[in-house]
Chains A and B, each alone.
Chain A
Amino acid sequence: EAQVTQNPRYLITVTGKKLTVTCSQNMNHEYMSWYRQDPGLGLRQIYYSMNVEVTDKGDVPEGYKVSRKEKRNFPLILESPSPNQTSLYFCASSLTGPVSGYTFGSGTRLTVV
């Protein structure tokens, strides 16, 4: 089944403890992206990657890192999480870019206390 897989689905952590949210897609998509979804603020892009080893900042990149060492994986790294990073996170991929339509993962609900 064609899909984007994120892990974990739920995570509660403490301020300052480094964490990684994994994202993997099995559709051979070139383009991958991370979004966060917050009530009243909608979906905002954190980072995106047009291809292996090519990443760029989205609208809200502060406090996040990403890497794209291989086509299928695009992990999101929070080096020192803070409470304002409590959110619902989505990984998404598309064949060539947003114009070809996104496939989204099921989401990761992160709580930083």
Chain B
Amino acid sequence: GNSVTQMEGPVTLSEEAFLTINCTYTATGYPSLFWYVQYPGEGLQLLLKATKADDKGSNKGFEATYRKETTSFHLEKGSVQVSDSAVYFCALSGDNYGQNFVFGPGTRLSVLP
């Protein structure tokens, strides 16, 4: 079945540092890939997505590129801010129904001033 693996956290960075959160997946076919972010006490928010190989999703300074050859969708940001402190979830959707949608375990990011 489909699965998503993320780097274990927590990740602690200083403000303005470069961020990478690794995400790899296992899926049949050609899934769509997502990053969601969960700020403290809130629901998840869609951060970015990519629907086919080599697509780059971007939003709020975050980027991720769909790499089919390495089955990866790593999240990057060039300069993190304290306000980026949150839990980040990688996810994939094998189709447009519920049973093939999978979240990764989440990676907690703390950014220190």
Contact = CB atoms under 8 A, between A and B. Distances in A.
Interface of A: 4, 31, 33, 42-43, 45, 48, 50, 56, 58, 90, 92, 96-107
B98 A99 contact: no
B104 A101 contact: no
Contact of A107 (B36, B43, B93, B95): B43
13 contacts: A42-B89, A43-B103, A48-B98, A56-B97, A92-B43, A96-B96, A98-B93, A101-B34, A103-B46, A104-B45, A105-B43, A107-B42, A107-B43
B51 interface: yes
B96 A56 contact: no
A99 B51 contact: yes
Contacts of B51: 99
Interface of B: 32, 34, 36, 41-46, 49, 51, 89, 93, 95-99, 101, 103-106
Instruction: Name the prevailing secondary structure of the A interface residues.
Output: strand
B44 A102 contact: yes
A42 B43 contact: no
A45 B93 CA distance: 13
A45 B102 CA distance: 9
Closest 3 CB pairs of A and B: A97-B96, A104-B43, A48-B98
Given A98-B93, A99-B93, A58 B46 contact: no
B44 A99 contact: no
Q: Which of B42, B96, B101 has the most A CB atoms < 10 Å from its CB?
A: B101
